[in-house]
Amino acid sequence: MAITLNNGFKMPIIGLGVWRMEKKDVRDLIINAINIGYRHFDCAADYHNEAEVGEALAEAFQSGLVKREDLFITTKLWNSDHGHVLEACKDSLKKLRLDYLDLYLIHFPVATRHTGVGTTDSALGEDGVLDIDTTISLETTWHAMEELVSMGLVRSIGISNYDIFLTRDCLAYSKIKPAVNQIETHPYFQRDSLVRFIQKHSICVTAHTPLGGSVANTEWFGSVSCLDDPVLKGLAEKYKKTVAQIVLRWGIQRETVIIPKTSKLERLKENFEIFNFELTKEDMELIRTIDRKYRTNQPAKLWGVDLFA
């Protein structure tokens, strides 16, 4: 099952996110995911495992397990490389062992002090606050992203963590419209106004953190996961599915692409088994009532500044 992007390319509606995936585990998880049926992998320079993903992909291609054209590979430009878009893209391609990317995203709508291509540092100033570069505009970065398409290095370009205002601005100055806006959205952070706005303008919404962060964000940010919600647990019993499967099914019925992350084989299989049932309209409305407007991915705790305030 796939969503057709505004440039005609198709993006599988479920992918595997590799954030916080241990380097030693990457190979088996990628190969197992392909065997299960995953054809979409969501990477980022900042995840520090592009090289390991690249090794796994190369093995999959060389063994005949899958062809390059059958996969959809996303990676992202880090904040410190906004002034070095071409070099950063080439660095990611080299690590991933690919000739082109299916999708390249601006990871966050902020440029920070450059620390060297591929280093993806979040440099802090003497005050302990993220060192934001005020000389590079998002418009400048976007036009550099557009050049990547012209060069054939990237098929689609997009944005990530952009709100309504920043998305509107990108639409105003873009020559190539963003194909995707990847945002945090899950039952506790539904963001219906933002999702509707993005989709109204023919931009695909990809839901990062589609399960509400679960263990990963609890460990890093002390946040609460929606997977313990009694409403969702009740629906899991009703449909004889896991809570995670209910949440992921809700995501695709909103016509959002979902990229759950897991390091466990059983979860990898479970997260993919969401196409043999459908939530009723009433149950979709029931899930709407548990929205807490609660962000679980909170980089402010690392950067000393809340970019989303």
Residue 155 to residue 5: CA distance in whole angstroms: 11
Residue 123 has pLDDT above 80, yes or no: yes
pLDDT band for position 111 (cuts 50, 70, 90): very high
Q: How many CB atoms lie within 10 A of CB 203?
A: 22
**Mean pLDDT (whole number) for 3-14:** 98
On average, the pLDDT of the chain sits at: 94
Tokens representing 55?
A: 């090794």
For 7, what's the count of Cα atoms within 13 Å in the CB-facing half-sphere?
16
SS3 14: strand
- In sequence order, the 6+-apart residues with CB closer than 8 A to the CB of 85 are 77, 141, 144, 145, 147, 148
Q: Which of 47, 104, 162, 188 is catalytic?
A: 47
Of the candidates 85, 83, 26, the residue with the CA atom closest to the CA atom of residue 59:
26
Binding residues for substrate: 107
Higher pLDDT, 50 or 299: 50
Residue 220 has pLDDT above 60, yes or no: no
Q: Is 47 a catalytic residue?
A: yes
pLDDT one-digit tens code per residue, 164-175: 999 999 999 999
Q: How far is CA 42 from CA 98, 164, 259, in A?
A: 14, 23, 7
**Mean pLDDT (whole number) for 119-137:** 93
Residue 216 has pLDDT above 80, yes or no: no
pTM of the predicted model, to two decimals? 0.95
Report the range out of 11-25, 100-114, 202-216 with the highest average pLDDT.
100-114
Binding residues: 107
Residue 171 to residue 55: CA distance in whole angstroms: 36
